[in-house]
């Protein structure tokens, strides 16, 4: 299954690869060069297909669990001052996604969307310490009765040029459901209460929609 945000791009690449293969058949009489270039075109198509894949995830709904919103690696856990919305200290958990990861963003908790804002910005590498504040990004806050408010931030990386965010203010959302997409590389930061019980550590790989980041 492929994410809907990739349907147009996949079709463009599919037609381009078919055209390229047919054109190479016409241009080259040398079988080796022709096969090499045709294979390269197919490899590019396969990479595009794997980037936009959208595997089924089995989320166990639990209002006291904060689950990973994306696939990736935990690259940062620290206490920070969150100045956009909370304006107080929070635990920041940063998850880096390589181009090989699934790039679907999923809601980390069920609840009511209290805040959703897009910020234009730079395209620093996603693991840069300032990318959470300087890069193109969206900030979303969800509230439920068990946890209170938590914030997650989709951050574009050096390659990413489009963030898709489905969270709208006053919308009731369900944990693990599709919350958006970040095209071609990126990172997601979670901002949690300082007394959160974390279930993850630095360099741990996590799976979006399933792995528990914190529980209350």
pLDDT, averaged in runs of 10, over the chain (216 residues): 78 85 75 75 81 87 96 95 96 90 93 95 57 78 96 78 88 96 82 95 96 96
Write the CATH number for 148.
2.70.70
**Cα–Cα nearest to 78, from 204, 190, 154, 209:** 190
> The domain containing residue 14 runs over which residues?
4-51
Count structural domains, the chain. Answer: 2
- What 8-state DSSP symbol labels residue 143? E
Q: Tell me the whole-structure pTM to 2 decimals.
A: 0.83
Phi and psi, residue 178, nearest 5°: -60, 120
pLDDT of residue 92: 96
Token couple for 171: 């919308």
Residues 34 and 119 in one domain: no
| 211/117 same-domain check | yes
Output the pLDDT for position 105: 95
Active site residues: 186
Examine residue 185 and state whether it is found in any structural domain, yes or no: yes
Query: Is 57 among the domain residues?
Result: no
Task: Please tell me whether residues 90 and 27 are part of one structural domain.
Answer: no
Specify whether 111 is located in the same domain as 197: yes
Q: What is the DSSP letter of 159?
A: S
Task: At 57, give phi and psi (nearest 5°).
Answer: -120, 145
């Amino acid at each position: 299954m492929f994410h809907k945000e990739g349907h147009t791009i996949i079709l463009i690449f599919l037609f381009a690869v078919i055209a390229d293969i047919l054109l190479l058949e016409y241009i080259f009489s040398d079988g080796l060069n022709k096969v090499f270039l045709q294979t390269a075109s197919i490899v590019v198509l396969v990479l595009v297909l794997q980037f936009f894949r959208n595997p089924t995830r089995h989320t166990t709904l639990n209002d006291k669990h904060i689950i990973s919103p994306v696939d990736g690696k935990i690259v940062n856990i620290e206490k920070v001052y969150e100045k956009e919305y909370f304006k107080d200290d929070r635990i920041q958990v940063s998850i880096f996604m390589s181009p090989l990861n699934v790039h679907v963003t999923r809601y980390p908790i069920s609840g009511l969307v209290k805040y959703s804002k897009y910020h234009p910005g730079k395209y620093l590498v996603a693991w840069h310490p300032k990318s959470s504040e300087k890069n193109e990004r969206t900030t979303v806050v969800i509230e439920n009765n068990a946890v209170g408010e938590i914030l997650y931030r989709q951050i574009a990386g050096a390659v990413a040029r489009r963030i898709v965010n489905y969270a709208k203010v006053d919308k009731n959302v369900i944990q693990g459901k599709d919350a958006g997409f970040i095209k071609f590389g990126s990172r997601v930061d979670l901002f949690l209460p300082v007394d959160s019980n974390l279930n993850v550590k630095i360099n741990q790989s996590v799976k979006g929609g399933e792995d528990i980041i914190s529980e209350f």
